[in-house]
């Protein structure tokens, strides 16, 4: 692995992986490192390998869980579990973003930051819909649901946002888009932050476009997963790329069950509580590089996300990833939110559109569906969409059980 990785980082990574394998009970049955390709020979871990495993099996025998929890250096976290049983992990609060992340965007490390996302992603640290978070943070959510939030809840969230005056907004893109749309409907204005960080779910072109218009500030993506216990896997640069956080994550793109589509596999040996070796969060993607001097992090690999493996669709001609589908329909003017499900090559979509755009959007979507090889498309214009159990807007998916009603 060192030949395609910075040798120093590679050595440090291999050393920490060796230590994890030697001491963490979960890895007791792993083969001992031996030969040149020992790392590549290790099994790839999936979520189902983690469920049902006692969290203590992840801990280094020298770690005192009770003491760490009391001190707050480890924090219990439950993964959102959109379709699976939620997973309890321990976040390592000593891990943090690289110190220069915010300065890359012209912001100090202590700039005020608002989080807006589903309650399950904020966890117990957000007891209500609005909660302070440390000295410089604000947590915002809608416990009653995003699309069903009342006018009063929307107004309260906007008031809290404006009073707090965040410089950084760390948000689920669908949640912020909806909050802004509803606020505008109520005649309320939201104070723009200085940097918009889109995270928690795949950011649709529709949401990125709407948020660009709503908040004309730099927009970057951040990528992580609860299973990694607080480790950030990839961070947005000032040019909008998503760069691997090299000193705490190693990435491999390995062939998935769909030919031509790779699955991202991460190793995060820095987390003391849960050092994951070759774990896949279930996302498809690619690892690329940008041109020399393209940005401040040009020599760091770029992670390109294509959506979740389990959310791919099959048209009559191809496997359609969330990214491929979103890139196609995202260009349709007037489309604001959508959920698409395929069934045996036929497609159904529920959509929220800009006022008066029903017919134009429906007809443009028909052309997109045809170009992607779907045998038919039924479009239903709705007022609200259903969110997954994790509070995320599931953009795409194969649906054998719930074929949507045609309009």
Q: How far is CA 105 from the centre of its chain?
A: 20
Alpha-carbon span 251 to 194, nearest angstrom:
30
What's the closest the beta carbon of residue 302 comes to Zn ion, in angstroms?
7
Pick between residue 167 and residue 241 the one whose CB is nearest to Zn ion: 241
> Which residue stretches of 172-220 are H helix?
173-185, 205-214
Q: Comparing C-alpha atoms, which of 317, 313, 316 is closest to residue 342?
A: 313
Nearest distance, CB of residue 202 and Zn ion, angstroms: 19
- Nearer Cβ to Zn ion (275/285): 285
Nearer of residues 239 and 366 to Zn ion, judged by Cβ = 239
The residue count of the chain comes to 407
> Would you say 241 or 341 has its CB closer to Zn ion?
241
Instruction: Write down the least CB distance from residue 243 to Zn ion, Å.
Output: 6
Residue 182 or 241: the one with the smaller Cβ distance to Zn ion is 241
Structure tokens at 283: 């996302």
In 242-385, which ranges are E strands? 242-244, 250-255, 262-268, 276-279, 283-288, 302-308, 313-314, 319-320, 335-343, 346-353, 376-381
Rounded to an integer, what is the distance from CA 289 to the centroid of its chain?
A: 21
Which stretch, 2-10, 190-198, 292-300, 307-315, contacts Zn ion (CB under 5 A)?
292-300
Q: Which of residues 296-315 bind Zn ion (CB under 5 A)?
A: 297
Hey, which residues between 218 and 277 contact Zn ion (CB under 5 A)?
Answer: 237, 239, 241
Give the nearer residue to Zn ion in terms of CB position, either 190 or 295.
Answer: 295
Which listed range, 43-51, 110-118, 293-301, 320-328, lies at the site for Zn ion (CB under 5 A)? 293-301
Candidate segments 224-232, 291-299, 360-368, 374-382, binder of Zn ion by CB under 5 A: 291-299
34-55 exposure pattern, b = at least 16 Cβ within 10 A, e = fewer: eeeebbeebeebebeebeeeeb
Whole-number minimum distance, CB 295 to Zn ion, in Å?
Answer: 3
How do beta strands 313-314 and 319-320 pair? antiparallel
Of 177-185, 190-198, 290-298, 304-312, the window that binds Zn ion (rule: CB under 5 A) is: 290-298
> What DSSP character marks residue 141?
-
Nearer to Zn ion, 77 or 297 (CB): 297
- In the complex, the smallest distance separating the C-beta of residue 240 from Zn ion, rounded to whole angstroms, is 7
Residue 323 as a binder of Zn ion (CB under 5 A): the answer is: no
Instruction: Determine the distance from the C-alpha atom of residue 219 to the mean position of all C-alpha atoms in its chain, rounded to a whole number.
Output: 15
Shortest separation between residue 296's beta carbon and Zn ion, angstroms: 7
Structure tokens at 351: 């959509």
H/E stretch holding 114 reads strand 113-116
Minimum distance from CB of 97 to Zn ion (Å)? 15
Minimal distance in Å, beta carbon 264 to Zn ion?
18
Closest to Zn ion by CB, 73 or 239:
239
Phi, psi of 302 (to 5 degrees): -105, 135
Nearer to Zn ion, 177 or 241 (CB): 241
Token couple for 168: 């950084």
Cα–Cα distance measured from residue 304 to residue 70, given in angstroms and rounded to the nearest whole number: 38
In order of 23, 197, 252, 261, the CA distances from 286 in angstroms are 32, 21, 9, 8
For the segment 354-393, give every residue that binds Zn ion (CB under 5 A). none
Closest distance of CB 249 from Zn ion, Å? 16
Q: Which stretch binds Zn ion (CB under 5 A): 84-92, 169-177, 277-285, 287-295?
A: 287-295
Min CB(239)–Zn ion separation in Å: 4
2 vs 239, which CB is nearer to Zn ion?
A: 239
| Binding-residue total with Zn ion (CB under 5 A) | 5
The angle subtended at Cα 130 by Cα 129 and Cα 132, nearest 5°, is 145
Which of 176, 174, 159 is CA-nearest to residue 217?
176
Q: Which of the stretches 88-96, 246-254, 294-302, 348-356 binds Zn ion when contact is defined by CB under 5 A?
A: 294-302
Q: Which of 65, 217, 253, 295 binds Zn ion (CB under 5 A)?
A: 295
Chain residues that interact with Zn ion, rule: CB under 5 A: 237, 239, 241, 295, 297
């Amino acid at each position: 692995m060192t030949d395609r990785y910075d040798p120093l980082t590679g050595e440090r990574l291999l050393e920490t992986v060796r230590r994890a394998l030697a001491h963490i009970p979960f890895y007791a049955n792993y083969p001992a490192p031996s030969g040149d390709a020992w790392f590549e020979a290790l099994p790839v871990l999936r979520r189902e390998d983690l469920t049902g495993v006692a969290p203590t099996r992840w801990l280094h025998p020298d770690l005192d869980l009770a003491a760490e929890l009391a001190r707050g250096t480890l924090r219990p976290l439950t993964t959102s579990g959109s379709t699976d049983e939620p997973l309890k992990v321990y976040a390592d609060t000593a891990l943090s973003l690289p110190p220069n992340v915010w300065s890359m965007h012209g912001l100090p490390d202590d700039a005020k930051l608002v989080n807006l996302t589903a309650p399950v992603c904020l966890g117990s640290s957000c007891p209500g819909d609005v909660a302070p978070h440390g000295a410089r943070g604000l947590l915002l959510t809608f416990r009653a649901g995003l699309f069903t939030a009342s006018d009063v809840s929307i107004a309260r969230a906007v008031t809290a946002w404006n009073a707090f005056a965040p410089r950084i907004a760390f948000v689920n893109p669908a949640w912020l888009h909806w909050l802004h749309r509803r606020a505008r409907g109520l005649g309320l204005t939201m104070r723009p932050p200085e940097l918009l960080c889109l995270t928690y779910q795949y950011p649709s072109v529709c949401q990125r476009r709407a948020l660009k218009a709503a908040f004309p500030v730099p927009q970057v993506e951040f990528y992580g997963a609860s299973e990694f216990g607080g480790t950030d896997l990839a961070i947005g640069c000032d040019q909008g790329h998503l760069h691997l956080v090299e000193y705490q994550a190693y990435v491999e793109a390995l062939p998935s069950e769909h030919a031509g589509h790779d699955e991202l596999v991460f190793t995060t040996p820095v987390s003391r509580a849960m050092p994951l070796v070759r774990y896949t969060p279930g996302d498809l993607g690619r690892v690329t590089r940008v041109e020399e001097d393209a940005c401040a992090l040009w020599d760091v690999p770029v992670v390109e996300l294509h959506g979740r493996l389990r959310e791919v669709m099959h048209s009559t001609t191809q496997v359609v990833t969330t990214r491929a589908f979103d890139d196609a329909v995202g260009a349709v003017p007037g489309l604001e939110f959508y959920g698409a499900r395929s069934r045996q090559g036929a497609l159904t979509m529920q959509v929220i559109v800009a006022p008066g755009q029903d017919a134009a959007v429906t007809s443009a979507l028909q052309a997109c569906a045809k170009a992607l090889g779907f045998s038919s498309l039924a479009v239903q214009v709705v007022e609200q969409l259903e969110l997954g159990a994790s509070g995320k807007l599931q953009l795409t998916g194969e649906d054998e059980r719930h074929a949507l009603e045609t309009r």
